[in-house]
Chain A
Amino acid sequence: MIAVELRKLVTRPRTWITIALIDALPTLVAVLLALTDIGPRPGTGPAFLSAVLSDGTLFPLAALAMVLPLFLPVAVALTAGDAIAGEAQSGTLRYLLVRPVGRARLLLAKLVSVVAFVLIAVVVVAVTAYVVGALLLGDAPLSSSVSGTALTQQELAWRTALALGYAVLAMLGVASIALFFSTVTDSPQGAAMGALAVLIASTLLLTLDASQALQPYLPTRYWLAFVDLFRDPILWRDVLRGVVQQVLYVVVFLGAAWANFSTRDITS
């Protein structure tokens, strides 16, 4: 079943259009930066964007910082929201289930296919950004950390890998929420909107001092903590919290999705 879902993922044109769209933004930014050589004013742009003018090897991170707050979660919410609800809406869900495909198996296969989507999207963005950064942007001999210390190529590579892994995990949290909504409704758009509503509410509450007690539980709270991986020494505090939090989100929402889906009447 997992193979079937992966095949569906890669044969669907929408997958590649979405990834191309996600990828287009950082590429466009790189071209603009290379042409104008104007970086963002301090405190205004996404992380690392000012640094890439002199050091293009940081561009995968700048690209990640650009797509992580909005593009990537929207794409993931749409894909994961479509997982069950999309099959329900097109009517194919009932035929898969009477095939028979066990409900837990189907959910698992859908999860794996969403994970694959997240991985493909993140890797494509990172690789494109690396190539674009190397071709168009600054070629400083040595990269520096956010704290101003020098980073060897090797250090930069594994910190970047950690950051990408962290982003994937953050998106898995989104995917679990969307997957849960996808088992609740028969409308893929509704499921995606539900997940996005959670994320938007979370982002909004994060700006509110009154919600401080709530903030450690908000799903977007630690998303941008991957920047902390590039401080020297690395600030693990928020990264670790982010990891634990996203794992909890994945466990709770997947559990809820499974509990709901395995006992639900399929009337679509």
Chain B
Amino acid sequence: MVAAAVVLLAAPIAVRALPADDPEVPAARLLVAAQASGTVAYSGYVESSGTLQLPVTDQFSEVAGLLGGRSRLRVWWRSADDWRVDSLTPAGERDLLHSHGLTTEWDYEAERVTTTPRSEVRLPRSSDLLPPELGRLVLADARPGEVSALGAETVAGIDAAGLRLVPAERQATVDHVDVWMDPDTGLPLQVSVFSADAAAPDISTRFLELSTTMPSERVTRFVAPPGVSVDFDDVVDVAGAAQRYAPVVAPRRLAGLGPRRGGLGRGAVGEYGRGVTAMAAIPLWENSAEPLREQLARTPGAVVEADGSSSLSVGPLELLLTPEAFDEHSWLLLGTVTHPTLERAAAQLARRALMVAYP
């Protein structure tokens, strides 16, 4: 009886511990394959977990949940312009459906449908935690010299090839990122982000089930249930709102970092850096900045400087909120760059804002 129970318990563990076949593909080829995997259609089930405890205000609660907790995601990905990601909760789900440049969010528990146009600037959302999306994001601008092969691991039943990225920038707070991908398609299957001397990943996301057949069209189409009205929202979130309505415009280069390739065109929000070394400068009206500042003042670990700026460091994420400027706005600087880098950026922005306040 006891022996039978032990066998029952041990079998799944033993199966998981079986070594994966190492396909032994050179790192540089894996990198290219991953970067080119954007056309692969897939569907599956993803679990991600993050250990980054962000201070929570209403506008940032969803981000905090994504980075600081466990998420269960279902995904049907036909193409970059036709996909659906369900973020599962115990008593409901929040679905993102994207097609024809429009993103529709369905929140079951709130019985709410919101449709927003595509925005270049937005806060992280559930679809960014999909291993293919996160994997391609971190590997986007990687150079062959930054990556090395890791060996294989079984992910969602696939013998996945591992690739380690160690960013070359001295401003980087991310120590390394491990990406496991399907050696045939280059599709990233598991991504783990480590900050310096962290034993466990700060963010880790992996497929538990995966199919690379084209998902049905019906699944990614959304028809609002009867009796539920659809809200149209012009701006996606605070970051998107800032991009459009902000009082000031971020400079092209900041703190020694150039504009992010494939990032924004002209707009108020500035995106800088390369690959996993990224920094964003977001101008906020005081009605958005003030609650955040208050929240930071109450957050353990957050620092309020003598000049009134608040900063917080969570794993590889650094955040700095400048003091209110004369014209009722503040800069929110955040990114995976070191704290001195953000301070330099803040100083530059303060000088510049004094000189040219309006675009």
Contact residues of A with B, CB < 8 Å? 42-43, 45-51, 54, 65, 140-142, 144, 146-150, 209, 216-217, 224, 227-228, 231, 233, 235, 237, 248, 252, 255-256, 259
B209 touches A43 (CB 8 A): no
Per the bound structure, the CA–CA distance linking A150 and B90 in Å amounts to: 21
A149 touches B225 (CB 8 A): yes
B226 touches A235 (CB 8 A): no
A148 touches B108 (CB 8 A): yes
Which residue from chain B places its CB closest to the CB of A47 in the assembled complex?
A: B91
Per the bound structure, the CA–CA distance linking A255 and B1 in Å amounts to: 8
Most buried by B among A45, A46, A51: A51
Q: Pick from B49, B88, B109, B208: contact of A42, CB below 8 A.
A: B109
B299 within 8 A of A: no
B45 within 8 A of A: yes
B218-229 CB contact bits vs A (8 Å, 1 = yes)?
A: 010011111110
Contacts of A231 in B (CB 8 A): 74, 86, 88, 93
Per the bound structure, the CA–CA distance linking A51 and B226 in Å amounts to: 12
Contacts of A228 in B (CB 8 A): 88
Q: Which B227-254 residues have a C-beta within 8 angstroms of A?
A: 227-228
Per the bound structure, the CA–CA distance linking A245 and B8 in Å amounts to: 10
A235 touches B222 (CB 8 A): no
B167-198 CB contact bits vs A (8 Å, 1 = yes)?
A: 00000000000000000000000000000000
Per the bound structure, the CA–CA distance linking A248 and B209 in Å amounts to: 23
Contacts of A233 in B (CB 8 A): 219
B91 touches A227 (CB 8 A): yes
Contacts of B208 in A (CB 8 A): 237
B8 touches A150 (CB 8 A): no
The smallest C-beta distance from A207 to any residue of chain B, in angstroms, reads 11
Contacts of B1 in A (CB 8 A): 252, 255-256, 259
B59 within 8 A of A: no
A-B residue pairs, 3 tightest by C-beta: A144-B225, A42-B109, A47-B91
Q: Known contacts A144-B225, A147-B86, A148-B224: does B91 contact A235 (CB below 8 Å)?
A: no
B45 touches A147 (CB 8 A): no
Q: How many A-B residue pairs have CB under 8 A?
A: 84
Q: Which B68-105 residues have a C-beta within 8 angstroms of A?
A: 74, 86, 88-93, 95
Q: Pick from A140, A141, A146: contact of B92, CB below 8 A.
A: A146
Identify whether the interface residues of A are mostly helix, strand, loop, or mixed. Answer: loop
Interface residues on B, range: 20 to 34
A48 touches B91 (CB 8 A): yes
Per the bound structure, the CA–CA distance linking A51 and B93 in Å amounts to: 13
B92 touches A150 (CB 8 A): no
B225 touches A142 (CB 8 A): yes
Q: Pick from B5, B45, B90, B222: contact of A148, CB below 8 A.
A: B222
Per the bound structure, the CA–CA distance linking A216 and B86 in Å amounts to: 22
Per the bound structure, the CA–CA distance linking A43 and B4 in Å amounts to: 40
Contacts of B108 in A (CB 8 A): 51, 146-148
B86 touches A224 (CB 8 A): no
Per the bound structure, the CA–CA distance linking A148 and B114 in Å amounts to: 13
B285 within 8 A of A: no
B223 touches A140 (CB 8 A): no
Contacts of B219 in A (CB 8 A): 233
Q: Pick from A47, A142, A209: contact of B90, CB below 8 A.
A: A47
B111 within 8 A of A: yes
Q: Pick from B49, B222, B226: contact of A142, CB below 8 A.
A: B226
B111 touches A50 (CB 8 A): yes
Per the bound structure, the CA–CA distance linking A224 and B91 in Å amounts to: 8
Per the bound structure, the CA–CA distance linking A216 and B8 in Å amounts to: 12
Contacts of A42 in B (CB 8 A): 92, 107, 109-110
Pick 16 A–B contacts, CB within 8 A, sort by A.
A42-B107, A42-B109, A43-B89, A43-B92, A46-B91, A47-B90, A51-B111, A141-B226, A146-B92, A150-B223, A150-B226, A224-B91, A228-B88, A231-B74, A252-B4, A255-B4
Q: Pick from A43, A147, A248: contact of B109, CB below 8 A.
A: A43
Q: Which B38-79 residues have a C-beta within 8 angstroms of A?
A: 45, 49, 74
Contacts of B226 in A (CB 8 A): 140-142, 144, 150
Which residue from chain A places its CB closest to the CB of B93 in the assembled complex?
A: A146
Per the bound structure, the CA–CA distance linking A65 and B109 in Å amounts to: 14
A150 touches B109 (CB 8 A): no
B90 touches A224 (CB 8 A): yes
Q: Known contacts A51-B108, A147-B106, A148-B222: does B93 contact A65 (CB below 8 Å)?
A: no
Which residue from chain B places its CB closest to the CB of A140 in the assembled complex?
A: B227
The smallest C-beta distance from B76 to any residue of chain A, in angstroms, reads 9
B104-124 CB contact bits vs A (8 Å, 1 = yes)?
A: 001111110100000000000
Which residue from chain A places its CB closest to the CB of B221 in the assembled complex?
A: A149
Contacts of A148 in B (CB 8 A): 95, 106, 108, 113, 222-225, 228
Per the bound structure, the CA–CA distance linking A154 and B12 in Å amounts to: 37
Q: Pick from B89, B92, B209: contact of A237, CB below 8 A.
A: B209
The smallest C-beta distance from A156 to any residue of chain B, in angstroms, reads 13
